[in-house]
Amino acid sequence: MTSNPKVAVVTGSSSGIGQEISLTLARNSFLTYATMRNLNKKENIKSVAEKENLPVKIVMLDVTDDRSVKDAVKSITAEANRIDVLVNNAGYGLVGAFEDLAMEEIKSQYETNLFGVIRVTQAIIPVMRKQKSGTIINISSGVVTLGGQLGGSAYVSTKFAVEGLSNSIAYELEPFGIKVVLVEPGLIRTNMYNNSVVASKSQDPNSPYTEVMQKLAASFEKMFQGGSSPDVVAKVVLKAATSENPSPKYLAGKDIESLKEAKRNMSDEEFYRMMKQNLMK
């Protein structure tokens, strides 16, 4: 650790990509505030941090709660006196055919994946603006590059919204020395799919989409098993966090890089057919 380490805040750090990002930043001399909604899930990251003597501090932060966000940011800035990097990672997937999604299920998805990003970012911007520097890294999804995903209308639309938000605020924040970066992971070997929320109506055997959703579930299970390790995303985040001039967008994972190249070389109709065939194997 340096005497004046850079400070990083990572949301959704209890497992998966967020946990790996927090540990990777800490291993590279960032004083890292690994935040999570449920502190009962802190033991894994705490154990690794203690074993490796890493500068990780675990803080409760629920991105869906205004007071929780404000209290966490206030606590962090009071202690560290600055925030150099914010990684908006917290999120989950809502799975189900669009017709089967209840409005409350869609609202909950947006509350975490979009409004959570907005809450935390708005709370931290004044800190970065005052210090005239900072990097905001928003974890999006490779499905934005691909254009969509069967059974993922709510999830995918939140990620499109995050990308539009990021691209827009980049213009406003650049004069204050604040950079905004998007990271689009491909399929990553985490529990994300198993931890996804399946729309209630999609679990009804009488749903007209039952057969297609069952095929999709079987396909996704195989695809996620062959996905990239979470450290692939963490390394990309580290690159963005340590670069003086990071790219506005990074892909993370060989699968999403290959699919982007395929999309570039195909017509929209050809790419649609290919994706449909791959998802419905």
Taking CA atoms, 172 is separated from 178, 180, 242, in Å, by: 9, 10, 21
pLDDT at 28: 98
CA atoms of 262 and 243, how far apart (whole Å): 29
| CB neighbours of residue 135 within 10 Å | 23
Amino acid present at 155 = Y
Instruction: Give helix 43-52 / helix 16-27 axis angle, nearest 10°.
Output: 20
CA atoms of 187 and 16, how far apart (whole Å): 12
CA atoms of 75 and 169, how far apart (whole Å): 25
pLDDT at 196: 79
pLDDT at 3: 65
From first to last of its 281 residues, the chain has per-residue pLDDT tens of 556 899 999 999 999 999 999 999 999 999 999 999 999 999 999 999 999 999 999 999 999 999 999 999 999 999 999 999 999 999 999 999 999 999 999 999 999 999 999 999 999 999 999 999 999 999 999 999 999 888 999 999 999 999 999 999 999 999 999 999 999 999 888 766 566 788 888 888 999 999 888 888 877 777 777 778 899 999 999 999 999 999 999 999 988 988 899 989 999 999 888 888 877 66
**Domain boundaries of the chain, sorted by first residue:** 7-279
Which residues is 32 bridged to in the sheet?
Answer: 8, 56
pLDDT at 203: 86
193 classed as catalytic: no
Which listed residue (33, 110, 155, 171) is catalytic?
155
pTM of the model: 0.94
CA atoms of 185 and 233, how far apart (whole Å): 6
CATH placement of domain 7-279? 3.40.50.720
